[in-house]
Structure 1
Amino acid sequence: MCGILFSIQDRNVEPTDKFAPTWSTLQELNSRRGPSAQDSHSVALSQPNNDSLGPTWSSNIDMTFYGAVLHLRGDHVSRQPHVSPTGNVLLWNGEIFDGIAVDHHENDGRVLTDQLEAISARCYDGPQDHRQDFLNLMATIEGPYAFVYFHAHSQSVYFGRDCLGRRSLLWHKSDQGESTVGLPFILTSTGYSAFRSELLRLEEVPADGIYSLSLASNSPKVVTKHPWVPAQSSSANEPDTMTLPFGRVNSAVPQDSELSVPFPDGLKFDQAHPDVVPPITEAMKEAITGMIEVLGDSVRRRVQDIPRTGLVHDARVGILFSGGLDCLCLAALADRFLPEGEAIDLLNVGFENPRSVKAKAAEEALAQKRLKKKQGVAESSGSTDGGKAKNENTKSVKPDTRFNVPDRTTGYESLAELRKVSPQRHWNFVEVNVPFEEAMAQRSEILERIAPLETVMDLSIAMAFWFASRGIGYIKNDQGELEAYTSQAKVLLSGLGADEQLGGYSRHKDQFTAAGWEGLIHELQLDLDRISTRNLGRDDRIISDHGKEARYPFLSTNVVQFLSKLRVDLKVDLRYPRGVGEKILLRHVARELGFNRASSHWKRAVQFGARTAKMTDSGRSEIGQQVVDRAAE
């Protein structure tokens, strides 16, 4: 994980120009993402005056590259920008897990720089020759990334995100239109909202291709997209394109003969008896085996060889842990590939939500009143201990019911199963408890981190991830007492991508009800197409604010390819009721891993599981800044 920042400026503008404070703020924000090392590099270009450059472009421009590094690859910290003897410059925010060989002693940014140099050395006939080889190289990378690359010979700047958009990259184009670029031109991993700056108008760089900008004197200043295209499309293998590493969602509608037989003899599913499961066909058996293999390999690549910075038993890996199906399977698979004596942190967040606390108190009071009325027992302020003597020497911490959110309950239930399956592992269940006052105090800062997104829903989700990834909370000791604990894990696994590919949302059920298997397939494809714009950039900016890196095993391109090829009913079968049919493949995988109870858990959105939703009286139509402003009044 790194923070990368790049700008093109007019050299004739004085350093005291209004852009200087903006650049300084962006440097500070990006440095949070990379606390291990920070560095910068400048390149000056002088060009003859040429009207084709456009009225906003000077004949003398400066490029500034700034990189902040979080050390997660290689034996030593490798500073960036990576500058080659030929003048090429690379800013790299990514992880190469496959496609290009990277030894665990090496830094992947340095390896990629060497690969780019080899291409550059072969291609001096023109920018087009270099460009296609460059695009082909980037298309081979399996892993999340965002980057900026200056190719000195062709005077071209390339930048972009991976095909799923797993890393954040924002741009400011000086309001020159959809493709035209004015100065200053800025690319940054993170930024802040337009409410704080009239100068900065950031947007997410689309993850639909790699973009280039020619700085040659005879080139108009427009960005050019070099798109990702499906392998089976007519435009595959055309110049200036990259082939997607996975195909479209399998569109085959299952036939009756291929479908599993419903529960026999009228037997109905009961969540209290999770051993009652749908029949498993031979095709499903193969899917289960394949899923465990490909997801396990994805987890292995994401947890192995993480540099150790603390004690030998300290956790290097944390899991954003709601206790749900997705994160539980990731925990079990991570357990297979980490040393036995090493802890794994399970980060479980709960918020004090005054609305929920008040509603729960009223509900409990009403239930108590009804019980007393039924029993004819008069109200009494006294209490009994059931005849059991108290041990005065035993320390205890009274549970704080403010944080008994749904995800806390589910988390402890899944933890119990996890400890049965893997008793030798030291599982740190970290209770991240967020009082209402602290949530409100940090709300404005969190809103800045999700910029340019600004909806109340984005803010609610971001608050849960921001506090969870910070990792400040409590764990229970051997006596069951809560002790203060701060997670030192720099790599956090997330289950994002499971619901989108395996039909875990209620909208999938709606589409299946309305339009059958065809409607469900269409919705799954839509979710995959838009995942970069809905989730990933926001989550990357939020989690990395604490110098942590989110990794998404379900979004390995190898996992996406495997699931895209599967027939739809082997992934999700919504003929069955809730808790059975959605994500049916992953439920079978969970049972295969030993989690019978958790295999029937329902999907619960993080903002409801952690209770960040509706913490105030904000309306759906409000944007996040309006909520923050009202809270401050």
Structure 2
Amino acid sequence: MCGIALVVSGVGIDLSSIFIDYSTFQPQQQQQQQQLVFQFDDLKAALSRRGPDSLGCKKLLLQSNHQEILSSLTEEDCVSSSSSVDHEAQLFFIGATLQLRGLVPIIQPLLDASRNILVYNGEIFGGIHVGSDDNDARILMHTLAQCCSCNSYCNGIACHCKGNGQSSIVDVLSTIKGPWALIYWQNSSRTLWFGRDAIGRRSLLVHWPTKEDSRLLLSSVSPPSSVAQISDFEAEIGSSKVNFWEELPCGIYSLSMDVLDGYFVGDIKKHEWSNAMLKELINWERILVEPKSEELHLSHCQPNGGQNNMHSTYSNIMATESGNIPASVSVSVQNVLTALRKSVMRRTSLNTIFQAVTCDRRQEELAPVAVLFSGGLDSMILAALLNECLDPSYEIDLLNVSFDGQFAPDRISAEAGVKELRRIAPLRRWKLVEIDAELSNLTSETKHVMSLINPANTYMDLNIGIALWLAAGGDGWLYEGVTYDDDGNQRGIKYVSKSRIILVGSGADEQCAGYGRHRTKYRHGSWLELHEEMKLDMQRIWKRNLGRDDRCCADNGKEARFPFLDEDVIRTLLDIPLWEIANLDQPSGTGDKKILREVAKVLGLYEAAVLPKRAIQFGSRIARESNRKNFGSNRAANQASAGSVVISKQNLV
């Protein structure tokens, strides 16, 4: 993974099938473009900044000649995406690769013998077999090359090629388990395919053609130049609603091209997933929502996953590490723990190319996988499971960010959490990386993070983005075996985490009723309203959270992975009655995320199992500092509902 981008110019694109009220552009209108917001090189620079192992680009020219389409591919680096000449369409592909799998290094875009082109940002954890020495993008390229090119899907007709043993592109992409965003040119059908996974774990932004800029653009991240120029435009018209980029809604899209009256035209269609399980996850329906009185009583009387004493702690740890779960644990808790363990295992299996790159270092000094670590329930569960899945010779970096030094709630819980992890896994070397920052010293960094979170534009998004960006950077201090100076101050060791994989706890709160609004909905409308609120959270997580979070982590040359959003974990949680997931009649730290608290107890994490929910912007105290800077005080910020306030440009100066 790392990033992908595409610029399509010289094509009259019809968007009416995805925007009901959209009036299509005529090809002649493309010659009346205003000044472009940014150039192709800006996209390339934004992806290059992420520190990829390789970065490449290709230009595909489509020329019309007597109603025929001729294509030629050039290997040179693309210099500029200046507007196309008459009777010519241009497609510029960029692929930035942070390679975590495969024996042989690759450079994207990938090109095969049939002149198909692929840029892929993702991981394949199931659905398509990827060997331990294989690369995801190469395997996917080979699989897509076998697909039919009848274009029946693009025309709303059922594909008839399955009888010949061929799959459609929709079928292949619907099969993938794992996060992905993709752009694929199928040369035989003259069709461009693009999209992102059904949950939205990989960022993909889109600029749909407009009268001001008739290009179709896709990118994993927005260039800073486009953000700056749009901000100027907003300032002139007094609007905060205009944005050049938007999050591409999850799904599979196609642009099938043709020539009409000597000009290139095409219409974009969105396709239904062909995988029944994916459709169920998207609909996010739970069969058992409202309990009968006897079911609720039985659930509340179920035994916990162990008692808080050293004997049961040791027994549970030994049982879970060996793959066995104590018989006293409910079936639901067993299923969730098993699904989570497999999810973490899929996301942390080390590969040959990583080992080849790092073979010159002592193995015991390597920390290939890190955890975004607050010391809270979700990150503690991920750390404990990572300990089970990762060879004991490797270190584990626990990345913790604070805007209030040792006094931030997340720093306090992180220090307590690492002590608990060392108790259950004393042979592992746990490294708590303490990343301290002051918001007043991050002026240029704040402006940069603004481009990363774009199109998100609220103070809450910015606060979360800055905290994630700093944490993923891993530039902090270690205080192991600490010494003191003459004034009694701790002496730390400067440390920068080299982990390229970061486990993030996103999705736990949405699926297990971890937010305060879930408790409010439950009190006002009982179980049905709670279920609807959780469903809403899951169906909008791609737009509100995941794209933003992916961009902020990837900017550091790191890959964020979300074990709680594994397809099998989501399915497992949906199969469990809602009253076993949460019991919101109980206080915070007990009834919210009830099932995950029971999982934590089975893992021996008794202190973490009772910690209340704290969002990163509050736990790190960046929200407090932001409120003081931008609103004068916390009280004033609360009165203004600061979290949802759109960022004012002058506040970034």
Determine the structure 2 residue equivalent to 1:553: 563
Q: 1:70 aligns with which of 76, 79, 98?
A: 98
Whichever of the two has the greater Rg, that structure is: 1
Determine the structure 1 residue equivalent to 2:536: 526
C-alpha displacement at 1:257, in angstroms? 1.2
In structure 2, the CA distance between the partners of 1:197 and 1:227, relative to structure 1 (3 Å rule), is farther
Deviations 1:64-123 (A, max 9, x none): 111110011112321111111111111100000111000111100000000011124x85
Please tell me whether residue 217 in structure 1 is matched to residue 217 in structure 2. no
For the residue of structure 2 that corresponds to 1:603, the secondary structure is coil
Please tell me whether residue 448 in structure 1 is matched to residue 479 in structure 2. no
Q: 1:459 aligns with which of 445, 459, 462?
A: 462
In structure 2, the CA distance between the partners of 1:165 and 1:283, relative to structure 1 (3 Å rule), is farther
For the residue of structure 2 that corresponds to 1:150, the secondary structure is strand
- 8 Å CA contact 1:41, 1:81 repeated in 2: yes
Q: 1:487 aligns with which of 497, 513, 521?
A: 497
For the residue of structure 2 that corresponds to 1:613, the secondary structure is helix
Determine the structure 2 residue equivalent to 1:339: 391
Looking at structure 1, the residues matched to 617 and 273 of structure 2 have their Cα atoms a distance apart, in angstroms, of: 33
Please tell me whether residue 256 in structure 1 is matched to residue 293 in structure 2. yes
What is the TM-score normalised by the length of structure 2? 0.78
Q: 1:27 aligns with which of 44, 48, 51?
A: 44
In structure 2, the CA distance between the partners of 1:125 and 1:472, relative to structure 1 (3 Å rule), is closer
Please tell me whether residue 95 in structure 1 is matched to residue 104 in structure 2. no
- 8 Å CA contact 2:9, 2:84 repeated in 1: no
Equivalent position amino acid for 1:42 in 2: K
C-alpha displacement at 1:626, in angstroms? 4.5
In structure 2, the CA distance between the partners of 1:476 and 1:260, relative to structure 1 (3 Å rule), is farther
Matches of residues 406-421 of structure 1 in structure 2 within 5 Å?
406-421=409-424
- 8 Å CA contact 1:31, 1:38 repeated in 2: yes
Looking at structure 2, the residues matched to 284 and 246 of structure 1 have their Cα atoms a distance apart, in angstroms, of: 30
Looking at structure 2, the residues matched to 169 and 287 of structure 1 have their Cα atoms a distance apart, in angstroms, of: 35
In the alignment of these two chains, the number of paired residues is: 552
C-alpha displacement at 1:593, in angstroms? 0.2
C-alpha displacement at 1:33, in angstroms? 3.2
Equivalent position amino acid for 2:375 in 1: G
Q: 1:147 aligns with which of 179, 182, 188?
A: 182
Determine the structure 2 residue equivalent to 1:363: none
In structure 2, the CA distance between the partners of 1:604 and 1:348, relative to structure 1 (3 Å rule), is same
Determine the structure 1 residue equivalent to 2:70: none
C-alpha displacement at 1:407, in angstroms? 0.1
Looking at structure 1, the residues matched to 528 and 153 of structure 2 have their Cα atoms a distance apart, in angstroms, of: 47
Looking at structure 2, the residues matched to 501 and 337 of structure 1 have their Cα atoms a distance apart, in angstroms, of: 24
Determine the structure 1 residue equivalent to 2:402: 350
Deviations 1:162-206 (A, max 9, x none): 0000000011123259xxxx7322111001465423598111111
Equivalent position amino acid for 2:651 in 1: R
Determine the structure 1 residue equivalent to 2:245: 202
- 8 Å CA contact 1:343, 1:427 repeated in 2: yes
Looking at structure 2, the residues matched to 262 and 337 of structure 1 have their Cα atoms a distance apart, in angstroms, of: 31
Q: 1:190 aligns with which of 198, 204, 221?
A: 221
Equivalent position amino acid for 1:297 in 2: K
Q: 1:478 aligns with which of 477, 481, 491?
A: 481
For the residue of structure 2 that corresponds to 1:153, the secondary structure is coil
Please tell me whether residue 113 in structure 1 is matched to residue 156 in structure 2. no
Matches of residues 274-289 of structure 1 in structure 2 within 5 Å?
285-289=330-334
Looking at structure 2, the residues matched to 261 and 126 of structure 1 have their Cα atoms a distance apart, in angstroms, of: 49
Please tell me whether residue 79 in structure 1 is matched to residue 121 in structure 2. no
For the residue of structure 2 that corresponds to 1:137, the secondary structure is helix
For the residue of structure 1 that corresponds to 2:286, the secondary structure is coil
C-alpha displacement at 1:578, in angstroms? 1.3
Equivalent position amino acid for 2:9 in 1: Q
Query: 305-314 or 582-591: which moved more?
Result: 305-314
Please tell me whether residue 293 in structure 1 is matched to residue 338 in structure 2. yes
C-alpha displacement at 1:246, in angstroms? 6.6
Determine the structure 2 residue equivalent to 1:59: 87
Equivalent position amino acid for 1:188 in 2: S
C-alpha displacement at 1:479, in angstroms? 3.6
For the residue of structure 1 that corresponds to 2:39, the secondary structure is helix
Query: 410-419 or 41-50: which moved more?
Result: 41-50
- 8 Å CA contact 2:120, 2:183 repeated in 1: yes
Looking at structure 1, the residues matched to 457 and 176 of structure 2 have their Cα atoms a distance apart, in angstroms, of: 32
C-alpha displacement at 1:345, in angstroms? 0.3
Looking at structure 2, the residues matched to 443 and 487 of structure 1 have their Cα atoms a distance apart, in angstroms, of: 22
Matches of residues 491-510 of structure 1 in structure 2 within 5 Å?
491-510=501-520
In structure 2, the CA distance between the partners of 1:465 and 1:145, relative to structure 1 (3 Å rule), is same
Identity level (%): 33
- 8 Å CA contact 2:417, 2:608 repeated in 1: yes
Looking at structure 2, the residues matched to 608 and 57 of structure 1 have their Cα atoms a distance apart, in angstroms, of: 53
What is the TM-score normalised by the length of structure 1? 0.81
Deviations 1:220-258 (A, max 9, x none): 5332111348949xxxxxxxxx74567633142111111
In structure 2, the CA distance between the partners of 1:216 and 1:524, relative to structure 1 (3 Å rule), is same
For the residue of structure 2 that corresponds to 1:452, the secondary structure is coil
Equivalent position amino acid for 1:99 in 2: G
CA RMSD of aligned residues (A): 3.3
- 8 Å CA contact 1:93, 1:145 repeated in 2: yes
Where do 5+ consecutive residues of structure 2 fail to align?
Answer: 12-27, 68-82, 234-242, 302-307, 313-325, 484-490, 632-636
Where do 5+ consecutive residues of structure 1 fail to align?
Answer: 233-241, 265-270, 276-280, 353-401
Looking at structure 1, the residues matched to 86 and 167 of structure 2 have their Cα atoms a distance apart, in angstroms, of: 29
- 8 Å CA contact 2:198, 2:282 repeated in 1: no
C-alpha displacement at 1:34, in angstroms? 5.0
